[in-house]
Amino acid sequence: MRVRRSFEFEAAHRLPGHPGKCRELHGHSYRLVVTVDGRVDAASGMTIDFADLKAAVRREVVALLDHRFVNDVIENPTAEAMAVWIWSRLAPALAGLVEVELFETRSCSVVYRGE
């Protein structure tokens, strides 16, 4: 069973290697979707409690990035680099983590599956 939960946070960054306007300081309303895969526990009827998923993501990711300058945390915070960083924070905390999807805008996202 796959369980997904979405999170939102606001953050600013600049992309030092970008040749265009993203080289300058700007911000995004990020949306993060975290997916966990596992068996449904017979006793609880759940794969993971949504509250436990929420607590792990807020503690490991949102608390560190929300209303922050992401360059202070990730050297070149492209969406791709951020997704890998998020994975590295969540993998030890969430058994069965299979995917993180990070939206920079409503129509632009990256998906990372721990490759």
26 is catalytic: no
Q: What is the DSSP code (8-state) at residue 39?
A: P
Choosing from 10, 18, 22, 108, the catalytic residue is 22
Residue type, 82: M
For range 83-94, the mean pLDDT: 98
Choosing from 13, 28, 60, 104, the catalytic residue is 104
Q: How far apart are CA 33 and CA 115, in angstroms?
A: 17
13 is catalytic: no
Cα dihedral sign, 70-74-78-83: negative
Choosing from 13, 28, 67, 108, the catalytic residue is 67
Non-local (6+) Cβ contacts of 26 within 8 A are 12, 13, 14
pLDDT at 94: 97
| Beta pairing class for 2-13 and 68-69 | parallel
115, pLDDT greater than 90 = no
22 is catalytic: yes
Prediction pTM value: 0.96
Q: Is 99:87 a contact under the CB 8 Å cutoff? A: no
pLDDT at 103: 98
Q: Which of 4, 13, 5, 43 is nearest to 104 (CA)?
A: 13
- For residue 95, the tally of other CB atoms under 10 A from its CB is 10
* pLDDT, tens digit, 9 for 90 and up, residues 38-80: 999 999 999 999 999 999 999 999 999 999 999 999 999 999 9
pLDDT at 113: 98
Tokens at 80, concatenated: 């791709």
* pLDDT, tens digit, 9 for 90 and up, residues 10-38: 999 999 999 999 999 999 999 999 999 99
